[in-house]
Amino acid sequence: MKTRQIERHRLVPHTVDGETELVLDTETIDVPAPPRDWDQVVRTAVTIGAVVLVTVSLTWTTASVGALLAMSTVAVVGYAAGIAFDATWIMCMGAEWLLRNAPERAALPRKAGHWALAVSMAAVLAHGHYIAHSWGVGAIGALVSALAKSGWMIAMRVHARPLDPRTQQWVAKRRAAVDGQLALIPVRRELQRAQHLIEAEQHALAAHGPADPDRSTDRPDESDDEPDADVLPLHSGAVTTKDAVRIAWDSGIRDDDAVIRYVAKATGRAPSPETVARYLRALRIGA
């Protein structure tokens, strides 16, 4: 049986001059070594091989398509654009891997990856035909991308953990609940920002003050006087001083003090006697 050595640490009592303390003791012991996991070794080798194939394909396609595009534009721009041909289907395969537990969502990047691969292979095929005047050379060059994508698909299958239909539904329901909570985060933030804007606007208007000069006086405690019986009661603050004077006048109240008491009750604050007198003079002149 194969063994391997490990260090074990433990606290042991140690006495010096009659004083005992716990100190750390280290010892090396032999333990059975687990057998090599050849499945994991092969899985790692497949993954490394797929990464190497994708890297070779990306380099080859960039060189081929970049050389083709460099004939009509600046070389640096042409080669930079050539990266997009293989990078597109590589990105789609990455998205497909991330969505492996959501088949309905993974269908779109899978289909887009196939189309991107076809475009990339067509571009390499055109470059090979243009350089060597042979469709065969172009086809062989185009197969590099196909082989790389096939290798990556195999690596994905090696790492995949298929779910049965019931478990797949369970995962979909749990993901939908969590995704709903995540989707509501920006919505709540937007609503909070809007509410804060409304509150800030209201505070700004309140600090600026009302446009009616009759409303500039501070509001004292409401008067305990009851309104005249002939005048309909109004909600405090529902009318302006001018409106309250008009209502009192139309109700037959002519005494200045009585009008002031009614206006105070109707508006919820004590009016300026000069303002009430001015409004009454205007009504008397009109009468």
User: How far is Cα 38 from Cα 46, in angstroms, rounded to an integer?
Assistant: 12
CB 232 within 8 A of CB 244: no
DSSP string, 167-221: HHHHHHHHHHHHHHHHHHHHHHHHHHHHHHHHHHHHHHHHHH--S-GGG-SPP-P
pLDDT of residue 218: 46
Instruction: Provide the pLDDT for residue 273.
Output: 85
Other CB atoms within a 10 A radius of the CB of residue 243 amount to 16
Query: Which pLDDT does position 229 carry in this prediction?
Result: 47
pLDDT value at position 114?
93
User: Which residues, 6+ apart, have CB-to-CB distance to 26 below 8 Å?
Assistant: 7, 8, 9
Question: What pTM was computed for the model?
Answer: 0.55
Long-range interactions of 160-166: CB distance < 8 A, separation 24+: 160/100, 163/101
User: What is the per-residue pLDDT for 146?
Assistant: 92
- Contact between 146 and 117 under an 8 Å Cβ cutoff? The reply is yes
pLDDT by 10-residue block (mean), the chain, 287 residues? 85 90 89 84 91 92 89 87 91 91 88 93 88 84 91 89 88 89 91 87 70 47 46 56 83 83 83 85 78
Query: Residue 13 gets which letter from DSSP?
Result: E
Q: Quick one: DSSP state of residue 74?
A: -
- 269 and 239 Cβ atoms separated by less than 8 Å: no
* Contact assessment for residue 101 and residue 164, using Cβ atoms and an 8 Å cutoff: no
Mapped onto helix, strand or coil, the DSSP state of residue 234 is: coil
Burial class (CB in 10 A: 0-12, 13-18, 19+), 138: buried
Which pLDDT value is given to residue 115?
Answer: 95
